[in-house]
């Protein structure tokens, strides 16, 4: 059973019995109803006018806005079990307070024509494990919160600029413009953001997952310049996903990510790990601007086998050892700020070892190598680190050499050499008296004196620079 009226206004009460549907709005006027609509029936709003509800309504049936507008004024003007369906060119507006709903749909509308105006309020969807799909436009400075274990789909061109908080369930993004480029997205543990098209967002945080489904998609994030940490996982499921980091802020990834679509840092910093034992990515990294940085910060050991390219920088932080095994072509500086960099592949540009950092390995440095005061170069006799540029050792730098059998194979080779700092020696298999080649250089030598520090007991050592092009022990 149902009732059709031209409009509804006033402050009284309306009770809708089971299965009763109140149809109103046909006279095309705009009215305000501050009373209470209750009962288990539903509401159909027709006509070109706007109905404003400012009372604490409790009806449990479906609310359909077939045409015109529905304004919820004051916050929580419908119960959080309410479902709203918007028709062609229909509008839902929140004023003066936020609203929770079970579902928002526009299946009865021509796709993309319905609108939701949040103003500065928050719309929460998914109460009572509701599900919904909306192809229209959600606008305003407010935000959207997803609760409940089921899914919602956003496929329109949404322009709201407040945050998207995925507390539970999944939010599917379709069409490529489902979120404004500045939206801050947070996905809680167990929740998922599912891309079914490439998408640009302002920032990414939380402990949930970001999933690429049904195609090869790109997630671009960072445009709001915020510093955020994402401890969840980015991965593909029936599709793939790539990551582009923009803006001036830092995005820290502490999950073990398996996405395969590649990584680009065009601005700010992408940090892998936060000083703990987690945080990793796979594949190649492109640093597409001089200000782009990829930082590795783990307390334990990590091997990165991808190729890092571009004009940006690498920073090694954290107490653990980072092994770079790829043939990295970046032209910016690789900085060892803490822990150990084990270079078994190559870097295309200069490399700097700062206080507390250590460089070791048998790879290639494509530019100058500078060991600053408090930094260390570590190597083993018979294994060579190749420096195609000049090498400079600071006065308080360390050269930590492990010596096996005597050999003329240098621990490091370089062009011009500034020799300085302190040499510390430990013994390895085959250690014996004899001559050990420490450094080969092809250019000029600036000999500031490499002092001998810690040595095995009952041994005598002297640094010999008498032969051009080599430093022997």
SS3 316: strand
pLDDT of residue 2: 84
Q: Give CA–CA dist 313/304, Å, rounded.
A: 15
**63 is a domain residue:** yes
Instruction: Judge whether 350 and 331 are in contact, CB under 8 Å.
Output: no
| pLDDT over 80 at 1, yes or no | no
Give domain status of residue 130, yes or no. Answer: yes
**Structural domain includes residue 52:** yes
State the number of CA atoms in the 13 A half-sphere of 158 facing the CB.
32
Mean pLDDT to the nearest integer, 293-298: 99
Instruction: Look at residue 88 and tell me if it is in a domain.
Output: yes
* Structural domain count of the chain: 1
Predicted confidence (pLDDT) per residue in 388-434, tens digit: 999 999 999 999 999 999 999 999 999 999 999 999 999 999 999 99
Residue 466: CB partners within 8 Å, gap ≥ 6? none
Provide the residue range defining the domain that includes 117: 1-162
Helix (H, G, I), strand (E, B) or coil at 128: helix
Q: Helix, strand, coil: what percent of the chain each, to 5?
A: 0, 45, 55
Three-class secondary structure of residue 377 per DSSP: strand
Mean pLDDT of 229-256: 98
Angle at 273 between CA 209 and CA 227, to 5 degrees: 75
Q: SS3 for 92?
A: strand
What are 241's strand-pairing partners? 217
Residue 12 domain-assigned (yes or no): yes
CA–CA separation, 183 and 233 (whole Å): 19
Specify the residue for token string 């200069």: 350
Give 151-180 pLDDT, tens digit per residue. 999 999 999 999 999 999 999 999 999 999
In 213-320, the DSSP E strands lie at: 216-221, 228-230, 233-236, 240-245, 250-253, 263-265, 269-272, 285-287, 293-297, 302-304, 308-310, 313-317
Quote the mean pLDDT of the chain.
97
Is 22 among the domain residues? yes
How deeply is 6 buried, as exposed, middle or buried, from its count of CB atoms within 10 A (0-12, 13-18, 19+)? middle
Report pTM: 0.95
Structure tokens at 289: 């601007």
Percentage of residues of the chain with pLDDT beyond 70: 100
Task: Say if 419 falls within a structural domain.
Answer: no
pLDDT of residue 297: 99
Cα–Cα distance for residue pair 370/244, rounded to 1 Å: 31
Task: Give the pLDDT band (50/70/90) at residue 295.
Answer: very high
- pLDDT higher than 90, residue 108: yes
Q: 335 falls in which pLDDT band (50, 70, 90)?
A: very high
Flag whether 454 is in a domain: no
C-alpha distances (whole Å) from 260 to each of 9, 197, 282, 394, 461 are: 57, 16, 7, 41, 52
Q: pLDDT tens-digit profile of 182-203?
A: 999 999 999 999 999 999 999 9
> Residue 282: helix, strand or coil by DSSP?
coil
And the tokens for 255?
Answer: 């999950």
pLDDT at 19: 80
- Largest separation between any pair of C-alpha atoms in the chain: 106
Predicted pLDDT of residue 458: 83
């Amino acid at each position: 059973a149902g009732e059709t009226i031209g409009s509804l206004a006033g402050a009284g009460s309306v009770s809708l019995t089971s299965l009763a549907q109140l149809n109103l709005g046909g006279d095309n006027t705009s009215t305000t109803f501050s009373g209470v609509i209750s009962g288990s029936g539903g509401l159909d709003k027709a006509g070109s006018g706007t109905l404003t509800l400012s009372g604490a309504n409790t009806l449990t049936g479906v609310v359909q806005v077939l045409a015109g507008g529905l304004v919820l004024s004051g916050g929580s003007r419908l119960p959080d079990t309410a479902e709203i369906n918007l028709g062609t060119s229909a509008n839902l507006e929140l004023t003066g307070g936020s609203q929770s709903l079970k579902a928002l749909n526009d299946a009865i509308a021509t796709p993309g024509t319905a609108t939701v105006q949040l103003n500065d309020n928050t719309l929460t969807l998914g109460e009572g494990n509701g599900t919904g799909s909306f192809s229209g436009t959600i606008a305003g400075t407010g935000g959207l919160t997803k609760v409940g274990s089921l899914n919602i789909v956003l496929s329109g061109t949404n322009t709201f600029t407040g945050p998207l908080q995925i507390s539970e369930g999944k939010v599917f993004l379709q069409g490529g413009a489902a979120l404004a480029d500045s939206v801050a997205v947070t996905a809680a543990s167990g929740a998922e953001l599912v891309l079914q098209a490439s998408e640009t967002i302002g920032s990414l945080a939380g402990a949930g997952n970001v999933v690429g489904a049904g195609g090869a998609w790109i997630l671009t994030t960072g445009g709001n310049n915020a510093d955020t940490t994402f401890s969840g996982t980015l991965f593909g499921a029936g599709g793939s996903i790539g990551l582009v980091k923009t803006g001036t802020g830092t995005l820290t990834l502490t999950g073990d990510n398996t996405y395969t679509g590649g990584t680009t840092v065009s601005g700010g910093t992408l940090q892998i790990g936060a000083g703990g034992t987690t945080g990793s990515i796979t594949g190649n990294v492109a640093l597409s601007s001089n200000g782009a940085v990829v930082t590795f910060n783990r307390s334990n050991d990590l091997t990165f086998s991808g190729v890092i390219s571009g004009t940006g920088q690498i920073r090694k932080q954290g107490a653990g050892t980072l092994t770079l095994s790829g043939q990295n072509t970046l032209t910016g500086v690789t900085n060892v700020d803490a822990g150990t960099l084990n270079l078994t592949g190559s870097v295309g540009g200069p490399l700097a070892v700062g206080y507390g950092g250590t460089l070791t390995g048998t790879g290639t440095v494509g530019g100058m190598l500078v060991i600053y005061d408090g930094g260390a170069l570590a190597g083993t006799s018979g294994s060579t680190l190749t420096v195609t540029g000049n090498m400079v050792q600071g006065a308080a730098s360390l050269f930590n050499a492990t010596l096996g059998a005597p050999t003329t194979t240098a621990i490091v080779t370089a062009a011009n050499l500034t020799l300085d700092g302190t040499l510390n020696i430990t013994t390895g298999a085959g250690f014996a008296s004899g001559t050990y080649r420490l450094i080969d250089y092809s250019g000029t030598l600036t000999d500031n004196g490499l002092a001998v520090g810690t040595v095995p007991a009952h041994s005598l050592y002297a640094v010999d620079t008498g032969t051009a092009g080599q430093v022997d022990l």
